[in-house]
Structure 1
Amino acid sequence: MTLSRRRFLSISAACLLAGPARAERWQGRAFGAEIDITIRGPRDIAGPAVRAARDLLRRIEAQFNLFDPGSQLSRLNAAGRLDTPDPMFRTLMRAADRVHRATGGLFDPTVQPLWRALADGGDLVAARRLIGWSRVTHGTQAVVLGTGQALTFNGIAQGFATDRVADLLAAAGFGDTLVNIGEFRGSGGPWTLGLSDPQFGHLGTRTLTQGAIATSSPHSVPLQGRGHILHASAAPQWSTVSVEAADATTADGFSTALALAPLDMIRALPGRHGIRRVTLVNTTGDLITL
Structure 2
Amino acid sequence: MKRRRFLTISAAMALVPRGVAAEERRWTGRALGAEVSITLFGPVAQTEAALTTCTALLQEIEAEYSLYDPASSLSRLNRDGELPWPSPKMHFLMGLVGELHRMTRGRFDPTVQPLWQALAGGGDVTAARRAIGWQRVRASVEQITLAPGQALTLNGIAQGFATDLVTGVLEEQGFERALVQVGEMRGLGGPWRVGISDPDAGLVTTRDLRNRAIATSSPSALMLGDMGHILDPLGEAAPHWSTVSVEAGSAALADGLSTALVFADLDEVRRVKAETPGEIRVLLVDAEGNLRTV
Give me the TM-score of the superposition, normalised by structure 2: 0.93
Aligned to 1:124: 125
Q: Which range moved further: 195-204 or 264-273?
A: 264-273
Counterpart check, 1:203 vs 2:204: yes
Q: How many residues align?
A: 282
Structure 1 counterpart of 2:19: none
2-side partners of 1:204 and 1:254: how far apart?
19
Q: 2:283 aligns with which of 269, 272, 279?
A: 279
Match of 1:3 in 2: none
Residues 109-132 of structure 1 show CA distances to partners (whole Å, capped at 9, x for unaligned) of 000000000110111111101101
Q: 2:258 aligns with which of 249, 255, 260?
A: 255
Mapped contact 2:216–2:255 kept (Cα < 8 A): yes
Q: What letter corresponds to residue 61 of structure 1 in structure 2? A: E
Q: 1:275, CA displacement in angstroms?
A: 4.1
Pick which of 247-256 and 265-274 moved more: 265-274
Q: CA deviation at 1:281?
A: 0.5
Q: Which residue of 2 aligns with 1:166?
A: 167
Q: Which has the higher contact order (CA 8 A, sep 6+)?
A: 1
Relative to the length of structure 1, the TM-score reads 0.94
Q: Which moved more, 1:199-208 or 1:94-103?
A: 199-208
Asked whether the 8 Å contact 2:188–2:210 carries over to 1, the reply is yes
Structure 2: how far apart are the matches of 1:153 and 1:204?
Answer: 28
CA positional deviation for 1:17: 4.3
Q: Distance in 1 between matches of 2:5 and 2:285?
A: 10
Does the CA-based 8 Å contact 1:10-1:198 persist in structure 2?
no
Superposed CA RMSD in Å reads 1.4
Name the counterpart of 1:16. 11
Question: What are the equivalent positions in structure 2 for 1:52-71 lying under 5 Å apart?
Answer: 52-71=53-72
Q: Distance in 2 between matches of 1:89 and 1:15?
A: 32
Runs (5+) with no aligned partner, structure 2: 17-22
Residue 102 of structure 1: how far off its partner (Å): 0.2
Aligned residues of 1:243 and 1:275 also touching (Cα < 8 A):
no
Using the alignment, how far apart are the partners of 2:35 and 2:12 within structure 1? 18
Partner Cα separation in structure 1 for residue 55 and residue 5 of structure 2: 25
Deviation at 1:237, TM superposition (A): 1.2
Structure 1 residue runs without a partner (length 5+)? 1-8
* Alpha-carbon displacement from aligned partner over 1:210-243 (angstroms, at most 9, x marks no partner): 1101000011111121111112313311100000
Structure 2 CA distance for aligned equivalents of residues 118 and 65 of structure 1: 20
1:14-63 CA deviation, whole Å, 9 max, x = no partner?
22242244111101111111111011111111111011111001001100
**C-alpha separation in 2, matches of 1:211 and 1:274:** 12
Q: Is 1:213 equivalent to 2:217 in the alignment?
A: no
1:224-263 correspondence runs (5 A): 224-232=225-233, 233-234=235-236, 235-263=238-266
Percent of aligned pairs sharing the same letter: 50
| CA distance in 1: counterparts of 2:6 and 2:172, whole angstroms | 27
